[in-house]
Amino acid sequence: MVKIEDVARAAGVSVATVSRVLNEQGGVLPQTQDKVRKAVEELHYEPNLSARNLRKNESRIILILAPNFSNPYYSKVLPGICDVSRNLGYSTLIYNTYDSNALDESLVVSLFEKNRADGMITLAVNRDDRWLAKYTGKYSIVQCSEYVEDIELPHISVDNRLAARELVSHLIAQGHSRIGIITSANRYLSSTNRLRGYFDALEEAGLGEDETLIAYASADYSFVSGKQAARELLSLPEPPSAIFCVSDILALGAIAAAGKLGLQVPWDLSIAGFDDVDYTTMFHPYMTTVAAPCYELGRRSMLLLYDHILQKPGAQQEVYLPHQVVLRETTAQRTQGRMADKP
Amino acid sequence: MVKIEDVARAAGVSVATVSRVLNEQGGVLPQTQDKVRKAVEELHYEPNLSARNLRKNESRIILILAPNFSNPYYSKVLPGICDVSRNLGYSTLIYNTYDSNALDESLVVSLFEKNRADGMITLAVNRDDRWLAKYTGKYSIVQCSEYVEDIELPHISVDNRLAARELVSHLIAQGHSRIGIITSANRYLSSTNRLRGYFDALEEAGLGEDETLIAYASADYSFVSGKQAARELLSLPEPPSAIFCVSDILALGAIAAAGKLGLQVPWDLSIAGFDDVDYTTMFHPYMTTVAAPCYELGRRSMLLLYDHILQKPGAQQEVYLPHQVVLRETTAQRTQGRMADKP
DNA sequence: TTGTAGGCGTTATCAG
DNA sequence: CTGATAACGCCTACAA
């Protein structure tokens, strides 16, 4: 292992000078700098991070907490975080937080206390993970996509409530008055807010709520649970003519369920999803859904986290990025009799 | 920050003793151990990893190099790696290696030289990344799924060639004699080996090769490129009656292309994929494909890497895990006239 | 502008 | 069985 001392000797200067050049602190003669840089080059010197981090009391590592990366949503956010952190000179540590107990307090604390991480980005806190509030100001944390309401910890996401409201309003504008929702039995704020948005739209249109039109899928938005939930909704005495699903996978399941019941989407039933994952346009009918700027969400999270690590005074606390309602083929004007304008 | 010295003082012993207890080196009286552990508990002491790593000259970090996690295959391998590494006391650092230039030599070298990682698992080396051989014995590396042939670096994967051969043989057994293949214009050994397996099967059956039956999709196995490649194959004067795709997504694209041309799968055309990602059973027809034990691949990679880090004498170099050919609905007995036994 | 030296928090070696 | 102390490699006062 080549160390700073070797470089100093090779360049004919002191270790302090080498360090100064490496850390670009200035105050070193250009010609001295050249000597140093040449020596670094020749010896292939790389500073030992353990030593540097010990000395500077940092780790240059960012923690990413995510439940699983099978969910395409997370795998799209991830590159945004990674790209930025790399540019900023950070490495990204990944920790799985198995869906159930989204976040393990003791794990987080130990990682920070051990000096393993300078900051953390959570991709999936539950809305009741209020213990996070304890670490405000102590650890640098940014909540991405999911967050805990009313605690003083920065978060960045789309406005799920507004997006859901827009989407459902669109369904209403298409003539649907009995609109079902398939949400999830999880503890994510996004699910809650999408449900709230659904209610907002109904209320705005003067449509009454009907509890029977709310179905719950599994916590992990599984395809089969979406199918099951849709089946329940569709076997109601008075089934909905449109279903809003809080996730694309659920919507995919709903489409499958509809197909099995001989219903054609969108003519017999309109279905909308949320997230705009890749396979929304892999099969016809292409899916009407809401697109979130995933990469940007990741990118901005890391940028925001960096501001907090640096203790920048003006660092933001709440950031909402614009979403986009994408109208495609799974939703259509409500028809009276079935098969009305089917091709 | 509470440090080892604080614990020592609180417990009324020396730092050496605390260290011994923490590292379970033995040779400490049980009652002394108790005192130490109690102090650790009370003070919430967590050893500073930078200091420890500096001293022990390790990092307790494993590097994972992967092109992207949008690919469900990688996101399934990842948990296997993470679970094991966590149990072994390692953290996992994630590095994206943008598809094109799968691996950046200088990045890898710098990460190791900086002491940022004790080992590395590559999820996607190209078959011509021969420079990796230079670091045999120097860095601990395990190649997972993809690997470079004939270099002395451990790798673990399924036997892609054999799997492809089995799958294509099955198609032949179903009466297909003109079998197309959609492979990818990338530099992964798996693509090469799947193509080899395809040839093996043809040869075994005494079927001649026909270059026109080989189509190339994009390097990232994109859905649209699979569609495009299938279109080419199907517009041949003498189109194939079955198509083997080296990835499920490509197969999904092929199914879409067939549908657009009015061909029904599997009656007019059999299609097989590879990988068995989630959506192979999300839509009918369910896909015939090859399943790899992803989680196990990840798990074993980390275990193998650990053996190499520890310099275990008997550490394996080549590991092949059993695959499974999964016959489902996209393949069927070849029929003469179209629509023969369609329901 | 440059060099010297002390210390970051641990572990490990050596005495006792 | 326990304690004092010297590294580990780097950064940064402070001095020159």
Whether the pLDDT of residue A68 is over 90: the answer is no
CA distance A143 to A153: 7
A82 with B96: Cβ contact below 8 A: yes
Strand C contacted by A49 CB (< 7 A):
no
Helix ranges restricted to H, B88-159? 105-113
Q: Tell me the pLDDT tens digit for each residue of A183-207.
A: 999 999 999 999 999 999 999 999 9
Q: Which CATH number characterizes residue B302's domain?
A: 3.40.50.2300
Q: Residue B341 has what pLDDT? A: 44
Chain A residues lying within 8 Å of B257, measured CB to CB: none
Residues B172 and B195 in one domain: yes
For residue B72, name the pLDDT band (cuts at 50, 70, 90). confident
For A229-234, what is the mean pLDDT?
A: 98
Mean pLDDT of A317-321: 97
pLDDT of residue A101: 62
Lowest mean pLDDT among A107-121, A272-286, B157-171: A272-286
- Taking residues A284-299, report their average pLDDT: 97
The pLDDT tens digits of the residues spanning A159-188 come to 999 999 999 999 999 999 999 999 999 999
User: Is residue A28's beta carbon less than 7 angstroms from any atom in nucleic acid strand C?
Assistant: yes
Min Cα separation B179/chain A (Å): 24
pLDDT of amino acid B96: 86
The residue behind tokens 């960045």 is A156
Q: In whole angstroms, give the CA distance from residue B35 to residue A291.
A: 57
Counting DSSP H helices and E strands in chain B, the numbers are: 11, 12
- B147 and B182 in a single domain? The answer is no
Check whether A339 has a pLDDT greater than 60.
no
Q: Same domain for B225 and B266?
A: yes
Q: Chain A interface residues facing chain B, Cβ-Cβ under 8 Å?
A: 1, 44, 46-51, 53-54, 57, 59, 61, 64, 68-70, 72, 74-76, 78-79, 82-83, 86, 91-96, 110, 113-116, 223, 252, 256, 278-279, 282-283
Q: Could you say which of A1, A116, A278 has the minimum Cβ distance to residue B91? A: A116
B-chain CB neighbours of A1 within 8 Å are 113
Residue A102 pLDDT > 80 = no
User: Above pLDDT 90, what percent of chain B?
Assistant: 88
A132 and A74 part of one domain: yes
Q: Between A294-309 and A72-87, two packed helices, what is the crossing angle to 10 degrees? A: 40
- Reduce the DSSP state of residue B94 to 3 states and report it: strand
Nucleotide nearest to B15 (CA to C1'): D3
Whole-Å CA distances, B105 to A2, A219, B101, B111, B132: 19, 41, 10, 10, 8
B244 forms beta bridges with B181, B272
Task: Please check whether residues A332 and A194 belong to one and the same domain.
Answer: yes
Check CB contact under 8 Å for A83 and B69.
no
**pTM of model > 0.85:** yes
Q: Are residues B274 and B310 in the same domain?
A: no
- Taking only the tens place, the pLDDT of each residue in B174-209 is 999 999 999 999 999 999 999 999 999 999 999 999
Query: Which pLDDT belongs to residue B99?
Result: 59
Query: For position A67, what pLDDT does the model report?
Result: 84
| Model pLDDT, residue B101 | 62
SS3 label, residue B192: helix
Q: Do A60 and A180 share a structural domain? A: no
Give the pLDDT of residue B343. 44
Q: What average pLDDT does the structure give for chain B?
A: 94
Cis before B240 (ω within 30): no
Residues B86 and B120 in one domain: yes
Kindly tell me if the per-residue pLDDT of B105 is higher than 50.
yes
Position A46 pLDDT exceeds 80? yes
Mutate to test the interface with B, among A70, A99, A112, A250 (most CBs of B within 10 A): A70
Inter-chain contact A46–B279, Cβ cutoff 8 Å?
no
Q: What is the CATH number of the domain that holds B9?
A: 1.10.260.40
Average per-residue pLDDT for chain A: 94
Name the residue with tokens 């079935």.
A338
| CA–CA min distance B59, chain A (Å) | 8
List the domain range (segments joined by +) for residue A75.
Answer: 54-158+294-322
Q: Give the distance from CA A165 to its chain's centroid.
A: 20
> Of A62 and A97, which is predicted with more confidence?
A62
- pLDDT tens column, B246-298: 999 999 999 999 999 999 999 999 999 999 998 899 888 999 999 999 999 99
Residue type, B217: A
| Contacts (Cβ under 8 Å, ≥6 apart) of B34 | none
Q: Which of A231-235, B46-50, B161-165, B279-283 has the lowest mean pLDDT?
A: B279-283
In what order do the strands lie in the sheet containing B242-245? B214-217, B179-184, B242-245, B270-272
What pLDDT score was predicted for residue A231? Answer: 98
Closest alpha carbon to A77 in A239, A301, A332:
A301
Percent of chain A past pLDDT 70, that is, above it, reads: 96
For residue A50, give the nearest of B1, B50, B68 by CB distance.
B50
Binned at pLDDT 50, 70 and 90, residue A96 comes out as confident
HSE-CB for A291 with a 13 A CA cutoff: 16
Residues A239 and A93 in one domain: no
pLDDT at B336: 66
| Per-residue model confidence (pLDDT) at position A341 | 45
Domain identity same for A220 and A235:
yes
In terms of Cα–Cα distance, which of A251, A299, A241 is closest to A272? A251
Same-domain status, A144 and A206: no
Question: Nearest residue to D8, CA vs C1'?
Answer: B55
Inter-chain contact B114–A78, Cβ cutoff 8 Å? no
A258 and A232 in one domain? yes
Instruction: Kindly determine whether residue B46 and residue A114, on different chains, have CB atoms separated by under 8 Å.
Output: yes
Closest CA–CA distance from residue B209 to any residue of chain A (Å): 32
pLDDT, residue A100, reads 59
Alpha carbons B330 and B270: distance in angstroms, whole number: 6
Report the pLDDT value the prediction gives residue B104, as an integer from 0 to 100. Answer: 85
Residue listed under structure tokens 């920065």: A154
Task: Categorize the per-residue pLDDT at A336 as very low, low, confident or very high, splitting at 50, 70 and 90.
Answer: low
User: Which tokens sit at A225?
Assistant: 């649970």
The stretch A106-110 carries a mean pLDDT of: 93
More confident residue, B273 or B101: B273
| Count of structural domains within chain B | 3
